[in-house]
Structure 1
Amino acid sequence: MEQLTELDNAFIQMESSRTPMHITPVIFYDQSGVAGGRVRFKDILQVFEGNLHKSKIFRRKLAGGALGFDTPFWIEDENFDLEFHVRHIALPKPGDWRQLCILMARLHARGLDMTRPLWEAYVIEGLNKVQGLPENSFAIMLKIHHSAIDGVSGAEIIAAIHSLDPDAPLPEVDDDWRGESSPPVSKVITQAYINNIRRPIHLAGTVRQLVPAMIKANKLSSEHDQEERHLERTRFNARIGSHRVTDALIMELTRIKKIRQCVPGATINDVIVATVSGAMRKYLEAHDELPEHSLVCAAPINVRQERNSDSKGNQVGVMTIDMATDIADPVERLKAVMSHSANSKETSQVVGTGVMMDVSRGIWPQFMNLTMRAATSLAPKTATPMPIHTVISNVPGPQFPLYLAGARVHMLMGLGPLVDMSGLFHAVISGMGLITINFLSCREMLPDPDFYKQCLEESYADLEAATFLKKKSPRRKARAKTKAKAKTKTKAKAKAKAKAS
């Protein structure tokens, strides 16, 4: 039995029929190397069953909440049923990319059963006409509640159900797991009483450390920023609906690295942010909605001391990055993003990357819940500019081969949660030599996802054309001139020989 942190509990409180709060990794597999050329659903069930012991997330559920005066507990589900959580579906023919995106959006829009362990896995077959995938591929779409994991621990869950060897047998595990009963009311009330006495003390200590750090951060921020940051508002800063749309831009990681190398000091994340920035600029400009000043994204930060299989819950901070959407030139935009990102990281380090977690520990859950609900209900009714316009969550994935029941992982993608006033989410996952930008929005805000994907593609192409492809072109010209001279010499020699004969 383990109690949720206040930050984990915040994601429980944000859960609604319009705002399901789960993270959704999507893994694509090439099963051509499997004996018989096909992985059976039974084999996948066995893989899950043989790895349940690797993470508590699989078999624990929520219990006891003290009527909102305290956070609930995780307990081992006495009635755990694996086949309830792992499901088998297929795309109808022809089984193309558009059908897959529609299916992923619909599945993601449906909330989890909050009375059971907070995850589901959909084995999706019928991917017959999805361009870029090996023939006879399948996918597994995982839905795991944000109260249980963040992006990094989600990546570790993916690693838990895979092996490094395609022929590796399922491990023989002495699993001594046992279910638990819900905590008695007396324990829930007693723990709530103790925690609610401790919280103000913890908050006072956090504020005492935070105030001087904030003063220093504000001074540092004023030194960095040449101009005052202006708040803007876009179509994505509104109350969201219950329907979702999604699509993805799939890129080669080596090409992203080449773009990065053309701008000294830039990171892969800077290139991703600049690509998204260019796409949002193109999209809003086409709709005559581009704000005069730059938009801002929120970027989750991992605050774990180290990555390990025991990571649990949310251990994240958030930094904000000026996306430079007011700059048309792609290279200048990337340079501006790089500068803003470096400044934001420096400021975040001064304040402390775990400040969000520290502050949340000192606030009464009921007060936090009421505040969040009031903010999300009142904000859409006003015209107040917003400090954040999209989320870009970048999670590095494995760059080495992984296998599930003998099928090799071909590609990773992911979808993140939406909340009111933040209706556009970009989930970025790298792995297997690829990197994907999955965007998710609600249909009311983004009725034309195909066009937004086109904007992403054009933004990425602009960056390529202005960086390493541009550097290539002089070489190509030089090679062309050399070839032309060689041809001229060859023709001249041929003519000379003809005359001599």
Structure 2
Amino acid sequence: MDRLSGLDASFLYLETPAQLMHVCGVIVLDPSTIPDGYSFATMQAEIDRRVRDVPEFTRKLRRVPMGLDHPVWVRDKQFDIERHVHRLALPTPGGYRELMDLVGHLAGLPLDRSRPLWEMWIIEGYDGGSGSDRIVVFTKMHHATVDGVSGANLVSHLCSLEPAADPLASAEPQAPAHDPGQLELLGRAVVSNVTKPLSAVRLLAPSAALVTKTVGRARAGTAMAAPLRAPRTSFNGTITGHRAIALADLDLEDVRAIKRETGTTVNDVVLAVAGGALRSYLDDRGELPDDSLLATVPVSVRESTRRSSGANKVSALFTKLGTDEEDPLERLSEMALRNKNAKDHHHAISADALQDWAEFAAPRTFGLAVRAYANLRLAEKHPVVHNLVISNVPGPPVPLYFTGARVDVLSPLGPVFHGAGLNITVMSNNGKVHVGVIACRESMPDVDDLVQRFPAELAVLKAAVAARNTATPLRRRRARSRAAGPTP
């Protein structure tokens, strides 16, 4: 038995039929590398073997009586791989459009909370423009059990560095499951609730000090961007349960080259490209606001947290994407400065602040509040908190093999929220940056139009850097010539 942290449990309370809190992934595989050839039965059996001793794959929720405390994880004694790994085939012609329609539909289906909160769909018959069939694995895992980094780590239990090699990570054998009784759960809940006021008192002083420091940073112009000041767009309202998905690839070396030439970071470049893509997308629709879009960027605190329990070890920072700046180099330069200030500001915040305050999320009250917020469409009536979520997840720099099949695409996809119906996640892998976009279908029906602007914006930024580098030596030669005076 393992109690969910307040932050983990919050993703359960946030969930409604329209606001689904699972993390998805699209993994495109080349089955020709599987030593004995592909069959669904073999792949399903191999997945079963690799996840059998991994707690995140084999535990399920157990509610506390009367909702007095956060739920607990218990081992599913009836774990059955056939309830989690399913088989589908794409309709003809089995191309990109058919795949996106299918995974968008699957992303809009909730997970069954009576079982471990994950599932995989093995999709056969994908052409992908390569001339040979590919296998696609569409994954869903609830945010209550993974964050971006831990989700990427779980992939290591299913992948290897060679087709016939063992997985990158193996799990320790699990101890026999402890199945708590109702009285034990009730007793733990009472103790937890009695000690919460003391915890709240301990949090007040550092939280007050943080507010004071934030005001000082704001006056000095070094604070991160503030929420609730974002401009409203067509994807900032109440969402439905329908999802639209689109994917694109960037060349990682192009991103790194721009980083080196401009003295910025990979994250700066990715966010600047995202800002350019969104600017272009909104401008073509006559929707470009005067003020810059504001993004929430999840940040892993695994290296600095003092907490050992809980699946989600994240915080977040806010940053403007420079959609109000036409020049790509200026946008990147401003992005780098804003990100530096945001990171410095974020480092001043306790790594456990979000997790500590999340412990006070009351199961019943929180859930009712979220449903009332959605039913009253309040996301359309108050100032926009943020426009979208953008995550940058570092992936392995080498080829991976999923149960023997080479991974060609590895694109994670995060959840969307009322008020922010767009999520962009990028993940690097083997020389590529895979861009995954998921949105509420009613808010942004043509997500492919947005994602295809990412490679175009990267090319524009690369050309701008090259043009600047070409012009700079010429200006220097002219300056030296003027300083030397006329030729005798």
TM-score by length of 2: 0.89
Distance 1:369 1:172 in 2: 36
Q: Is the 8 A contact 2:145 2:312 kept in 1?
A: yes
Q: What do residues 219-275 of structure 1 show as CA deviations (whole Å, max 9, x unaligned)?
A: 1232125999644222221110121111122111111111212221x1111111111
Distance 2:375 2:73 in 1: 29
Mapped contact 1:50–1:173 kept (Cα < 8 A): no
Q: Which amino acid in structure 2 is aligned with residue 65 of structure 1? A: V
8 Å Cα contact 1:39/1:405 also seen in 2: no
Alignment of 1:268-279 (within 5 A): 268-279=266-277
CA-CA distance at 1:35 after TM superposition:
3.8
- Equivalent runs, 1:114-133 vs 2, <5 Å: 114-128=113-127, 130-131=128-129, 133=130
Distance 2:447 2:170 in 1: 46
Name the counterpart of 1:151. 148
> What is the one-letter code of the residue matched to 1:278?
G
1:233–1:384 Cα contact (<8 Å) kept: no
> What CA distance in whole angstroms lies between the structure 2 residues aligned with 1:365 and 1:208?
26
1:1-150 map, 5 Å: 1-35=1-35, 38-128=37-127, 130-131=128-129, 133=130, 135-150=132-147
CA shift for structure 1 position 363:
4.3
Identity over the aligned pairs, expressed in percent?
31
Q: Deviations over 1:44-70 (max 9, x none)?
A: 123222222452011110012333321
- Contact 2:425–2:436 (CA<8 Å) still a contact in 1? yes
Matches of 1:69 and 1:186, distance apart in 2: 12
3-state SS, counterpart of residue 357 of structure 2: helix
Query: Following TM superposition, by how much is the alpha carbon of 1:371 offset from its aligned partner in structure 2, in angstroms?
Result: 4.2
Secondary structure in 2 matching 1:262: helix
Could you tell which deviates more after superposition, 102-111 or 404-413? 404-413
Deviates more, 1:137-146 or 1:221-230: 221-230
After TM superposition, give the deviation of residue 380 of structure 1 in Å: 3.2
Judged with a 3 Å threshold, the aligned counterparts in structure 2 of structure 1 residues 94 and 9 are, in CA distance, closer, same or farther, namely: same
Q: Residue 184 of structure 1 aligns with which residue?
A: 181
Structure 1 gap ranges (5+): 476-501
| Residue aligning to 2:403 | 405
Give the aligned partner of residue 202 of structure 2: 205
Coordinate RMSD, CA, aligned: 2.7
User: Aligned ranges for residues 299-448 of structure 1 at < 5 Å?
Assistant: 299-305=297-303, 313-378=311-376, 380=378, 382-448=380-446
Paired position in structure 2 for 1:490 = none
2:165 to 164, 168, 188: 168
Equivalents in 2 of 1:209, 1:474: separation in Å? 49
Shift of 1:362: 3.8
1:235 counterpart residue number: 234
Distance 2:148 2:90 in 1: 27
Task: Give the TM-score taking structure 1 as reference length.
Answer: 0.87
Name the CA distance, whole Å, in 1 between partners of 2:271 and 2:170.
Answer: 44
Q: Secondary structure at the match of 1:32?
A: helix
Task: Return the offset for 1:31.
Answer: 2.5
* Shift in alpha-carbon separation, 1:45–1:197, aligned structure 2, 3 A: same
Contact map agreement 2:295 2:320 (CA 8 A) in 1 = yes
Name the residue aligned to 2:482: none
Q: The residue matched to 2:290 in structure 1 has which SS? A: coil
1:193 aligns with 2:159: no
